[in-house]
Chain A
Amino acid sequence: MSAPILNVKDLNKSFGAVTAAHDISVAIQPGTCTGLIGTNGAGKTTFVNMITGYLKPDTGSIEFNGQNITKMTPRDISRIGVTRSFQIPQLYASMTTLENLEMGFGVLALMRNKRGLFVGSDKPVPGYGNQTIRQLAEEAMERFGLSAFRDQVTRTLPGGTRKLIDIAMAMATKPKVLLLDEPTSGVSSEEKFDIMDMVMRVVKADGTTVLFVEHDMEIVSQHADRVLAFYDGTIIVDEPPESALKNELVLQYIVGNTQALSTTGQNDA
Chain B
Amino acid sequence: MSADKTVIRFAGFLLALLLCASFIPQWGLFMLTIVLANGLVVLGCLLFLRAGLVSFGQALYFCFGAYTTGLAANFLNVTDVFLLLLMSAVTSGIMAWLLGVLLSKYRAIFFGLLSMAFSMILYGLLAKTESLGSTDGFNVPAVTILGYEPSSESVRVSILAVAALLALLAVSFGQAFLKSPMGLLLTAIRDNEIRVEYMGASAQKTIHTIYVIGGVFAGLAGSIVAVSVGHIDPTMAVWTTSGEFVFITIMGGIGSVIAPFLGALAFGIIHTVAFSESPNTWQLVLGTALIGIIYILPDGLWSLLSRLRGDKK
Contact = CB atoms under 8 A, between A and B. Distances in A.
A102 B187 CA distance: 13
Contact of A103 (B179, B184, B202): B184
A111 B195 contact: no
Contacts of B188: 92, 95, 103
B198 interface: yes
A94 B200 contact: no
Contact size class for B? 20 to 34
Nearest to B180: A118
A52 interface: yes
A93 B180 contact: no
A102 B184 contact: yes
B181 interface: yes
A79 B192 CA distance: 18
Given A93-B192, A107-B181, A109-B181, A78 B187 contact: no
Contact of B191 (A75, A83, A94, A116): A94
B85 interface: no
B201 interface: yes
Interface string A152-187: 000000000000000001101100000000000000
Interface in A100-127: 102-104, 106-111, 116-121
A74 B181 contact: no
A104 B190 CA distance: 15
A75 B192 contact: no
A120 B179 contact: yes
B229 interface: no
B20 to A, nearest CB: 34
A95 B198 contact: no
A95 B197 contact: no
B177 interface: yes
B265 interface: no
Given A102-B184, A120-B179, A120-B180, A110 B201 contact: yes
A115 B276 CA distance: 50
Nearest to A108: B200
Interface in B189-226: 190-192, 194-202
A40 to B, nearest CB: 22
A118 B195 contact: no
A73 B197 CA distance: 9
B191 A93 contact: yes
A247 interface: no
A16 B139 CA distance: 63
B261 to A, nearest CB: 22
A91 interface: yes
B176 interface: yes
A90 to B, nearest CB: 4
B184 A90 contact: no
7 contacts: A75-B197, A75-B200, A92-B188, A111-B201, A117-B182, A118-B176, A172-B199
Given A90-B195, A106-B181, A170-B198, 16 more contacts: A75-B200, A84-B198, A90-B194, A92-B191, A95-B187, A102-B184, A104-B199, A107-B199, A107-B200, A107-B201, A110-B181, A111-B200, A111-B201, A116-B181, A118-B177, A172-B199
